[in-house]
Amino acid sequence: MIRRNRYLLIWLLGGLAAAQEESSTRIANPFTSDDDRAAGAKLYQSQCASCHGLDGKGGQGTPDFTSGQFRRASSDEGLFQIVAKGISGTTMPAFNLDGKQIWQTVAHIRSFSFRRTAAASSGDTGKGRELFRLHKCAACHESSAPELTRVGRNRPAAELRRAMEEPDAEVDSAWWRVAITLRGGQSLEGRRLNEDTYTIQLLDRQGNLRSADKSDVAQTKLVRTSPMPSYRGKLREQEWNDLLAYLISGDLR
Amino acid sequence: MKAVLCLFCTLSAAAQVTPPAENWPTYHGSFFSQHYSTLAGITPANVGKLTLAWTHQANSLEKFETTPLVIDGVMYLTEAPNTIVALDPASGRPYWIYEHKLPEVTYPCCGKVTRGVAYADGLIFFATHDAKVIALDARTGRLRWENTLIDHRQGYSFTHAPLVVKDKVIVGSGGGELGIRGFLAALDAKTGKEVWRFQIIPGPGEPGNETWGGDSWKHGGGSIWLTGSYDPELNLTYWGTGNPGPDWNPAVRPGDNLYSDSVLALDADSGKLKWYFQFTPHDEWDWDAVQTPVLVDREWNGRMRKLMFWASRNGFFYVFDRANGQFLLGKEFVKQTWAKGLDERGRPMRIPGMGPSKQGTKTYPGVQGGTNWYAPAYSPRTGLFYLTAWDDYHGTYFAWDQQYEQGKWYAGGGVKAPVPPTRRERIVTRDTSDGYAAVRALDPLTGKVAWDYKMQDMSESGLLSTATDLLFSGNREGHFFALDARSGKLLWRRYLGGQVIASPITYLAAGKQYVTIAAGHTLFTFALE
């Protein structure tokens, strides 16, 4: 019991340091003790989880708190303002909680993104960078694949490895590709950026932004698999450690 | 202005069942709420030439859910949170603007929205987020009277347009996610004095209270989110009520939970309940009956009857005899997995295990329902009932414990859904495999789909039908369009670039027909060149 709590404390403090790093010029959250977080968790379940999910992963137009990245705030103070005032034009309401309660919910939503495992410490980031170059990861990841600078920030190394070993397991629709044949016979192919009832937008293979009117389209083929090859068996264990250490370092230049 | 002086002229019953074509006199277009206009200037042949006449920019970034009124040459619209604008419907230029001052904290559950006003006898009536009803002089925008109906800090807020019936203004409260006890109230239009109040969640000793276990009725919800309808011959006013509270933890409220998720038929003079029908007894999914009661006089099995058509959020389409509430027809209009069907009295035959659970239960339809508060339309010419449907769409419903605390969220669970509710999404890469929206035409005699106009993303737009067999609607993608009401064929469209979460209206100004819709944060008005 005691050991588990101590572990928990270390885990919590690690996350807190990360949070404070960002908010150094802002008002920092004064309510981040274990008790505060527990109170925050309770408030979160009763006041927030309907829309944000008990697990903080979102669920109906709500962002994923476990990613550790917020679209509309970069500091605890910013998060406080959001909870107090709501977000206009969305269903996110203003909350009639007292200041302390708001800080406590902020402490709780921060805790969703605490690093779940240590970085692959055995890896050499320099060698990882070399592998990144060698395998031409940037060729895709600079334009038609997810930005990787922060990918390792709140994700366990094992999860990143799985993403690279089984790229097709879960492909967000943002990375689907499309092949379009126009009535005139011309074809368009690339990453599908946006679509509505009448039009479709894409970034084609040559790097041009294109928009097609569906009334001009003869055929559309949607590709829901990942263009990334599986790296299973293509990297040795030490190479995995190096590459993952590099990704987690967040210093991808 | 002449017309404004004519005492109660727009209140005459006949006038509001078949309103003067140049006006859009009530939120739903008429007492019968068909969202149907007899104007015939814009036709399938010329609709392709509709062009922008003017725009009006709202001074708010909240969702723009206004459906304006047009009364004798003046348009009255609302902007979030609680602003009323009177403007010239030919040029868009405002005459006056009234901003209701709100306290710092108000409790609209899901956006500080407001949907419209009511008009009668030179007065504009409006219901506020701090649970007041106000009356303004329609010419000057000056406050005539104000009445606070309840302490808004208990979670009450008014977001819908009032309904004026004879000499009374009828309103109801939102707050079903905050543990309110819903009610409808009628105020004297001249003085604002309350004349009657109907408790949607009956108290001890009142019939229906036995459908609530223990004290659960105290926070039983039953919101009013949307304007009702009225039949002058029967003197009945019809209202759809919201979900029971807490939304997703039904264990704390054993029983049918009357009169949540119901249509109520109330005597307009006394507020006495004439009949009711509950669509989703003991609701576990937040499927409020916040739909428009569409009243239609039509033959049914060889006999003229006073009917009511209702497409419910629970996925079923219903037909009633609105004189006595007799259930005549019920048929699912979208994919649903929670009921085997309806029994001969219209009560759903529930499939066990489809309610929310700790680990989550996947059920069709999702939380926004098969349809929702977006106005359907009826055309007496085509005989078809039109609605915005969300089909092939599910939610994963969770339940957990929740204590009631005044002014706090009281939902008892939550929902995950692949398709989000209203949101300013400008990039949408989802495909339609997790659900799609359609403008759906039903034959109300059978409940069968006559035609479907499918869209890529969901739609939260209301509909408008016209005497020239046009059907106007919009969608979340930001388009506004006109369909052939007989076939569903697209005849005209414009990209407005902001989501449509309101209903289109049409009216005449200086002899010209206009069509108006709110999209994004702008009101757009179109006319022929």
What is the DSSP secondary-structure string of B429-482?
---GGG-EEEEEEEETTTTEEEEEEEESS------EEETTSEEEEE-TTSEEEE
d(CA B230, CA B241): 16
Q: List the single residue in A with minimal CA-CA distance to B498.
A: A89
Q: List the single residue in B with minimal CA-CA distance to A200.
A: B429
Residues of B in contact with A91 (CB under 8 A): 109-111, 421-423
Q: List the single residue in B with minimal CA-CA distance to A57.
A: B416
- How buried is B298 (Cβ within 10 angstroms: 0-12 exposed, 13-18 middle, 19+ buried)? middle
d(CA A140, CA A148): 11
Whether B101 is in a domain gets the answer yes
Half-sphere exposure for A234 (CA within 13 Å, toward CB): 12
Residues of A in contact with B360 (CB under 8 A): none
CATH code (residue B170):
2.140.10.10
- Chain B: nearest CA to A142, how far in angstroms? 20
Q: What's phi and psi for A44, nearest 5 deg?
A: -60, -45
Delimit the domains of chain A by residue range. 2-120, 125-170+230-249, 177-223
Whether B23 is in a domain gets the answer no
pLDDT of residue A4: 32
Answer yes or no: do B422 and A192 touch at CB < 8 A.
no
Whether B14 is in a domain gets the answer no
Structural domain containing residue B384: 36-528
Query: What are the residue ranges in chain B where pLDDT is below 70?
Result: 1-16, 423-424
Answer yes or no: do A60 and B425 touch at CB < 8 A.
no
What ipTM did this prediction achieve? Answer: 0.91
Domain count of the fold of chain B: 1
Task: Pick from B153, B409, B415 the residue to mutate for testing the A interface (most A CBs within 10 Å).
Answer: B409
Answer yes or no: do B111 and A222 touch at CB < 8 A.
no
Second CATH level (architecture) for the domain A177-223: Roll (2.30)
| Residues B143 and B136 sit within 8 Å (Cβ to Cβ) | yes
pLDDT of residue A96: 86
Answer yes or no: do A89 and B109 touch at CB < 8 A.
no
Answer yes or no: do B414 and A59 touch at CB < 8 A.
yes
Please tell me which of the candidates A49, A61, A176 has its beta carbon nearest to residue B429. Answer: A176
pLDDT tens digits for A192-248? 999 999 999 999 999 999 999 999 999 999 999 999 999 999 999 999 999 999 998
pLDDT of residue A157: 86
Catalytic positions of B are 286
Determine how many CB atoms are found less than 10 A away from the CB of residue B186. 26
- CA–centroid distance for A58 within its chain: 12
Whether B21 is in a domain gets the answer no
| Residues B510 and B494 sit within 8 Å (Cβ to Cβ) | no
| Residues B108 and B174 sit within 8 Å (Cβ to Cβ) | yes
Q: Which residue has the tokens 């104000």?
A: B146
pTM: 0.92
Answer yes or no: do B60 and A88 touch at CB < 8 A.
yes
Q: List the single residue in B with minimal CA-CA distance to A50.
A: B414
pLDDT of residue B52: 98
Answer yes or no: do A89 and B427 touch at CB < 8 A.
no
Answer yes or no: do A173 and B424 touch at CB < 8 A.
no
Q: Helix, strand or coil for residue A76?
A: helix
Answer yes or no: do A173 and B109 touch at CB < 8 A.
no
HEC profile of B336-356: CCCEEEECCCCCEEECCCCCC
Tell me whether domains A2-120 and A177-223 share a fold.
no
Is the peptide bond between B89 and the residue preceding it cis, with omega within 30 degrees of 0?
no
Number of CB pairs < 8 Å for A and B?
A: 118
Answer yes or no: do B409 and A192 touch at CB < 8 A.
no
Closest by Cα among B471, B381, B508 to B43: B471
Q: Which amino acid is at A13?
A: L
pLDDT of residue B156: 97
Quote the radius of gyration of chain B (alpha carbons, Å): 21
Closest by Cα among B183, B436, B390, B437 to B287: B390
d(CA B238, CA B280): 17
Q: List the single residue in B with minimal CA-CA distance to A91.
A: B110
Please tell me which of the candidates A49, A91, A196 has its beta carbon nearest to residue B421. Answer: A91
Answer yes or no: do A50 and B403 touch at CB < 8 A.
no
Task: Pick from B107, B429, B436 the residue to mutate for testing the A interface (most A CBs within 10 Å).
Answer: B429
Whether B470 is in a domain gets the answer yes
HEC profile of B515-527: EEEEECCEEEEEE
Residues of B in contact with A95 (CB under 8 A): 409
Answer yes or no: do B429 and A192 touch at CB < 8 A.
yes
Q: List the single residue in B with minimal CA-CA distance to A88.
A: B62
Task: Pick from A90, A194, A199, A217 the residue to mutate for testing the B interface (most B CBs within 10 Å).
Answer: A90
Please tell me which of the candidates B409, B423, B430 has its beta carbon nearest to residue A50. Answer: B409
Say if domain A2-120 classifies as CATH 2.60.120.10.
no
Is the peptide bond between B495 and the residue preceding it cis, with omega within 30 degrees of 0?
no
Query: What are the residue ranges in chain A where pLDDT is below 50?
Result: 1-24, 116-118
| Residues B131 and B149 sit within 8 Å (Cβ to Cβ) | yes
pLDDT of residue A150: 79
Please tell me which of the candidates A46, A176, A222 has its beta carbon nearest to residue B402. Answer: A46
Please tell me which of the candidates B110, B407, B475 has its beta carbon nearest to residue A91. Answer: B110
Residues of B in contact with A65 (CB under 8 A): none
Residues of A in contact with B109 (CB under 8 A): 91, 93
pLDDT of residue B13: 54
DSSP character at residue A225: S
pLDDT of residue B34: 98
Task: Pick from B79, B373, B406, B423 the residue to mutate for testing the A interface (most A CBs within 10 Å).
Answer: B423
pLDDT of residue A89: 84
Whether B24 is in a domain gets the answer no
Cβ neighbours of residue B329 closer than 8 Å, sequence gap 6 or more? B317, B318, B319, B444, B445, B446, B447
Residues of B in contact with A196 (CB under 8 A): 428, 456-457, 477-479
Answer yes or no: do B417 and A192 touch at CB < 8 A.
no
Buried b (16+ CB within 10 A) or exposed e, A227-243: ebeebeeebeeebbbbb
Q: List the single residue in B with minimal CA-CA distance to A48.
A: B409
- Chain B: nearest CA to A234, how far in angstroms? 31
The β-bridge partners of B123 are: B120, B137
d(CA A112, CA A67): 8
Closest by Cα among B517, B483, B528, B526 to B64: B517
Cβ neighbours of residue A58 closer than 8 Å, sequence gap 6 or more? A52, A64, A65, B416
pLDDT of residue A60: 80
- Chain B: nearest CA to A94, how far in angstroms? 8
Residues of A in contact with B434 (CB under 8 A): none
Whether B18 is in a domain gets the answer no
Q: List the single residue in A with minimal CA-CA distance to B249.
A: A50
pLDDT of residue B243: 98
For chain A, the residue count is 253
Residues of A in contact with B431 (CB under 8 A): 173, 176, 195, 222
